[in-house]
Amino acid sequence: MPDSRIRVLIVDDSAIVRKVLTDALLAEPDIEVVGTAPDPFVARDKILSLHPDVITLDIEMPRMDGVTFLKKLMHYHPLPVIVISSLGISSSRTALEALDAGAIDVLAKPGGPQSVGELRLSLATKIRTAKVARLRVLSSPVSANGSQPIHSQLGRPFPASAVIAIGASTGGTEAIQEVLVGLPQNCPAIVITQHIPAVFSRSFADRLNEVCAIRVREAKDGDKLEPGLALVAPGNFHMLLKGSPGCHRVEVRDGPMVCFQRPAVDVLFHSVALSAGPNATAAILTGMGSDGAQGMIAMKKAGARTIAQDEDSCVVFGMPKEAIRHGAIDRVLPLSAIQNALLAEARR
């Protein structure tokens, strides 16, 4: 009987990190670490000889950095890759560049052997997700500096009370960028929960702010919603919408994980249902798991319009699938159509 375990190759220049990651997976019956490599040159040979299903990849290595190696890998021998990155601002920006280059997900680098307990669940989950993920066909990055936003001169003004809520996980950083790039500067206020580690969320928001015509920033407790502004939930904190139509603020707070996540899409969507009700439009994008489904149900019952990304355009069709299965979705659309749909629904 063939071995059905997920075969993992760990690529990291630190022997300590290689051991920590290997130890974190020892107890997983469906995952096997088939090898480790200290740099991309050794990794290249082991990929050809060991045929791994998933690779974990450090991005700061000698001889060749991880992003350069990732780009070569995705061109010549595409495989699901999970980036392992330290928590510095510069490192998190490089990790986002790796997501641009085709990596499936990013995980904060462990601090030492004591990190194994914290790492075990998240690493194993991300490996299982990566194994079933759809590898993206890479395209040239889009910049708001190149041409006019496609909606900048079109359509009636949006109601001041309109709110757009977006939730995503695996594959979501690129999906959210595609939805936001080209939005007009007068678009409704936007709140976003993306499953992402602490520190990385700041770099994610900053990158979006650079390429979008609208303003994008990591949310702070008490931030006021404004047209043309998108607020991103900070990593490791829940974000909630508070207040009444036309006078909304966000609350950023600690709390237990929901659906194994913090920030959780469900937390945001439930709060939007309560505070914005029929003035809200929501989209649930690519991601593994069920986070967001219950919140979408609450939003639909409150009169909000609800949209889900379709299976063909998702990296992982988990979160949208669960929301659809629960009858919480009005429209199922390819990612390329979601921007227009959100704007059209927000005007209603």
Residues 127 and 219 in one domain: no
CATH of the domain at 267: 3.40.50.180
Exposed / middle / buried, residue 194 (Cβ in 10 Å: 0-12, 13-18, 19+) = buried
Residues 297 and 214 in one domain: yes
| Sequence-separated (6 or more) residues with CB below 8 Å from residue 254 | 237, 238, 262
Residues 289 and 237 in one domain: yes
pLDDT, position 194: 97
DSSP letter assigned to residue 184: -
Asked if the structure places residue 137 within a domain, the reply is no
Asked if the structure places residue 148 within a domain, the reply is no
CB atoms within 10 A of CB 30: 12
Residues 28 and 31: their CA atoms lie apart, in Å, by 5
**pTM of the full predicted structure?**
0.90
pLDDT, position 37: 96
Residues 127 and 222 in one domain: no
CA end-to-end span of the chain: 57
pLDDT, position 89: 66
Q: Tally the domains of the chain.
A: 2
Q: Report the catalytic residues.
A: 169, 195, 291
Residue 16: helix, strand or coil by DSSP?
Answer: helix
What residue numbers bound the domain in which 247 lies?
163-347
Asked if the structure places residue 79 within a domain, the reply is yes
Asked if the structure places residue 151 within a domain, the reply is no
Residues 321 and 264: their CA atoms lie apart, in Å, by 17
Residues 183 and 189: their CA atoms lie apart, in Å, by 11
Quick one: how far is CA 42 from the chain centroid? 30
Residues 191 and 261 in one domain: yes
Joined together, the tokens standing for residue 224 give 């006021």
Exposed / middle / buried, residue 122 (Cβ in 10 Å: 0-12, 13-18, 19+) = middle
Joined together, the tokens standing for residue 28 give 């997983």
Q: Alpha carbon of 247 to those of 157, 162, 174, 225, 280: distances in Å?
A: 18, 11, 30, 7, 14
Residues 261 and 20: their CA atoms lie apart, in Å, by 22
Residues 66 and 193 in one domain: no
Residues 19 and 168 in one domain: no
DSSP 75-133: HHS---EEEEE-SSHHHHHHHHHHHHTT-SEEEEPP-SGGGHHHHHHHHHHHHHHHHHP
pLDDT tens per residue across all 348 residues of the chain: 467 899 999 999 999 889 989 998 998 999 999 999 999 999 999 999 999 999 999 988 888 999 999 999 999 999 999 998 876 667 788 889 999 999 999 988 766 554 556 677 789 999 999 999 999 755 444 433 333 444 444 557 899 999 999 999 999 999 999 999 989 999 999 999 999 988 899 999 999 999 999 999 999 999 999 999 999 999 999 999 999 888 999 999 999 999 999 999 999 999 999 999 999 999 999 999 999 999 999 999 999 999 999 999 999 999 999 999 999 999 999 999 999 999 999 987
Residues 279 and 211 in one domain: yes
